[in-house]
Amino acid sequence: MAVRDILEYPDPRLHELSCPVDHFDDALARTVDDLIETLHASASIGLCAPQIDVCEQVLVMDHSEDQSAPEAYVNPVITRRRGFGLVEERCLSVPGMSAFVFRATAIAVRAQDLTGATFERTLTGMPAVCLQHEMDHFDGKLVADRMNWFKRRRLRAALHKTEEPA
């Protein structure tokens, strides 16, 4: 297991489409281990493979208080959506910024585990929102793309400042 670097906006790799997983092998298990370790090190609740430069449809979430319940979703598909709300989201790939996004507040999801076995879950509230956010990454979509013009300009200005020599 290793804590991996998280790609940050405006890295173009974050806009690539992620491929479905078709090999349920040691490489997949390593990706999931690294995702979980990186998620826990960042004290966040969700992380997906494209954020650590693995262009595959794999995500992990852990909504426990003590980082004791990480869950991996491979090739997730949302099969039902219910209730919609405007939610303020943050993203480890867009540090220091947030954006308001319309999300379903309850979803049913079908996915595969590390062995390729299919499972189904019903998620509500924060876990439902988190899963939709992570799945946006598979389509190359970021909360930065949903920010208004003013916020994006502030983000670019902040990035520009950190790139200049001190």
Interface with Zn ion (CB under 5 A): 91
CB of 67 to Zn ion, least distance (A): 18
Shortest distance in whole angstroms from residue 39 CB to Zn ion: 11
Q: What minimum distance in Å lies between the beta carbon of 115 and Zn ion?
A: 27
Residue spans of beta strands (DSSP E) within the chain? 46-48, 58-61, 71-91, 94-112, 118-124
- The pair phi, psi for residue 59, each rounded to 5°, is -140, 155
Nearer to Zn ion, 104 or 144 (CB): 144
φ, ψ (nearest 5 deg) of residue 80? -150, 145
Nearest to Zn ion of 49, 91 (CB atom): 91
CA atoms of 125 and 40, how far apart (whole Å)? 21
Query: Annotated active-site positions, please?
Result: 134
> What dihedral do alpha carbons 110, 33, 96, 89 form, nearest 10°?
10
Cβ partners under 8 Å of residue 124, min gap 6: 105, 106, 107
State which residue, 90 or 116, has the beta carbon closest to Zn ion: 90
